[in-house]
Amino acid sequence: MRRIRRNLRHGRKGFTLIELLVVIGIVAILVAILLPALVKARQSALSLKCMANLRQMAQALVMYQNDNHGPFIDYEPSHHLWMGALDHYLRSREAIKCPAASAGPAVTGVEVFGNAWTLWGPTQNLAQDSERYRLFGDYTSGYGFNGWFYKDNEAEWFHSLFVSHADDFWMSSSAVKPSSNVPVFADCVWLDSWPGTDDTPPNDLLDPARESLNDNGMRRFCIPRHQHGVNAAFLDGSVRHFRELGELWGLNWSKNFKPGTRYVAS
């Protein structure tokens, strides 16, 4: 009896190597199963926060519209365009930063452009007396404004665009119908753009600006930031998520835009 008790008292402790390997294997399997779900949940949370930002921006534009007899913003670089116009209508500047994009901006030849994962804005290398810095001051954002809502103020570059595309600018609130299909803000690699019906998707969806810095059409909005898609805010204050980038061509961006469908490989 004493021998039996002694054996029990002094029995082996811990796991064998095989038992440890089994436990490690089970943990690895659980991680492999749960990790994609956790990543997707995080992406969904960031997308929802982004949509909340866009909703606040759309509401700020509505307040601006009530105070200025329309949703049309002067193309005034010295006043920092839409960022300056809406600043005091927003609770904070964090509202114009997409949470799914990190602080940047990306270096794409011109150091102020963003991409699918970085914000646009000034960098320390950008001289404060430069034309681009005067354009947006110290604002940093991951969203772009639908440029067809700008008003002409005879700024040299913009005035030529306004004259050559006068029929595309909204110019009148009564012309904006249906407002639920007219985007005002969306995920973007630059502060604004003027999408056209015949615009084509960029070859590099993650970094459209690297492909063409001067392309100021749909390509700036065509980025797979949120689970291969983008978020957009509309003139009626609504916000929608587009799982397919080709759906952007189905919106009424300008007065003469012809909505359709476009396949975009993601």
DSSP assignment string, 10-52: T---S--HHHHHHHHHHHHHHHHHHHHHHHHHHHHHHHHHHHH
Instruction: Write down the mean pLDDT value for the chain.
Output: 83
- Amino acid 137: pLDDT: 79
Cα torsion through 156, 158, 164, 165, rounded to 10: -170
Residue 259 domain-assigned (yes or no): no
Sign, Cα dihedral of 222, 223, 229, 233: negative
The total number of structural domains in the chain stands at 1
Burial of 70 (0-12, 13-18, 19+ CB in 10 A): middle
Residue 205 domain-assigned (yes or no): yes
Residue 257 domain-assigned (yes or no): no
- Amino acid 13: pLDDT: 61
Identify the band that residue 146 occupies on the pLDDT scale cut at 50, 70 and 90: very high
- Amino acid 160: pLDDT: 82
Which candidate, 68, 215, 210, 40, places its Cα nearest to that of 149?
A: 68
Mean local confidence (pLDDT), 94-106: 83
Give residue 200's domain range: 15-250
Residue 88 domain-assigned (yes or no): yes
Cβ atoms of 105 and 118 closer than 8 Å:
yes
